[in-house]
Amino acid sequence: MPEAADEANARPGAHMSAEIAAQPQMFADLLAAHAAVAEVAARITERRPRFVLLAARGSSDHAALYAKYLTEVLLELPAGLVSASSTTLYGARPDLREVLVITVSQSGGSPDLVEVTRTARECGATTVAVTNTPHSQLNTVAELSVDVRAGAEQAVAATKTYSATLLSLYLLVDAVRGGSGAAAASVPDLASSTLESTRTGVEDAVARYRFADEIVTTGRGYSLATASEAALKLAETSYVSARSYSGADLLHGPVAAVDADTAVLAMISSGHGGGAMREVLEAVHARDADLCAIGSAARTVGASHRIEIPECAEELAPVLEVLPVQRLALGLALAKGEDPDHPRGLRKETRTR
């Protein structure tokens, strides 16, 4: 019934809901295309880069932050995030020989990222585009490219393109170190389990936080990317004042502003990053904040609310952690009478220079 399908797609949040649900199969499709990522990794390995720079904006910037941790921990190479304006506004042309520049952009059309990538290649860098748009301008200027294979995304808020980018970056970095991607083989099944097992916890969290005016998100290590993405998703879909902090930074001052009127979403999965969050959450709990712990180690800390996810390798946890976060953003937007498919004043692609 075409009319029924059109009516279903017209419901607020219909696209975002469908795209969240599509992620397990998308992960499986991405893993099946591992050979293409391995080819790019082989080219990178031949160049033996000594430093990695990552360029991105918006949700892709959080994926780049995740890749920074992957690079520093798994490859033991120094990594940094590009300041695009040093090129686009100030015209800087640094010596980038022996540097790998990875530009992450779902659309591949942001003028500043295209300019940064073109300049980096001219300055001697090995350039890689990681994008959901394989025929984009970014792919034209980059030497190498990785297709995140998420398919068309209708909702303005990125969901499946974000998680597909995370998994693509993991597979790329893992292949550069000589891995086969085997540790990620269970991700599709774990994602299905996460979406199903967290449904009630997310619904309870929506009811709990629908009237929250201020939310702080926090995490450490790999999960800092999830905390950053959580703040963005909540701000752009529910118009909540959401701020993200590294757990370490939260203790260095901002925790003083946390009180009983503050909702705190803490990412805490098994591993070194989650372990380092315990002191942080003790401080937050002592200030009577309403704490929601999200992750495979959520059950191990004192919290007002918990959303537990299945356990996996720590470096893959952000791929799963973000799923209930996306559902929470969707649910809060709908509870507030908003349409997260079409946030006020936002477009799918933001063009900056």
Please give the average pLDDT of every successive group of 10 residues along the chain, which has 353 residues.
Answer: 53 96 98 97 97 96 98 98 95 96 95 96 98 95 97 94 98 98 97 98 96 92 98 93 93 86 94 95 88 95 94 98 98 94 67 61
pTM: 0.94
> In this structure, are residues 107 and 132 in contact, taking their beta carbons and an 8 Å threshold?
yes
Closest by CA to 277, choosing from 307, 261, 300, is: 300
CATH of 2-184, one of 3.40.50.10490, 3.30.420.10, 3.50.50.60, 3.40.190.10: 3.40.50.10490
SS3 at position 252: coil
pLDDT score recorded for residue 4: 47
**Token output for 333:** 């937007």
pLDDT score recorded for residue 12: 93
Domain with CATH 3.40.50.10490 in the chain: 2-184, 187-335
pLDDT score recorded for residue 8: 53
CA angle 317, 226, 335 (to 5 degrees): 115
From residue 185, alpha-carbon distances to 32, 128, 130 in Å are: 10, 24, 21
Rounded Cα distance, 9 and 214, in Å: 31
Rounded Cα distance, 265 and 256, in Å: 16
pLDDT score recorded for residue 9: 59
**What are 74-79's contacts with CB under 8 Å, separation 24+?**
74/173, 74/174, 74/177, 74/315, 75/173, 75/176, 75/177, 77/49, 77/50, 77/51, 77/52, 78/50, 78/51, 78/52, 79/51, 79/52, 79/53, 79/54
Q: What are phi and psi of 300, to 5 degrees?
A: -90, 0
Under CATH, what is the fold of the domain 187-335? Rossmann fold (3.40.50)
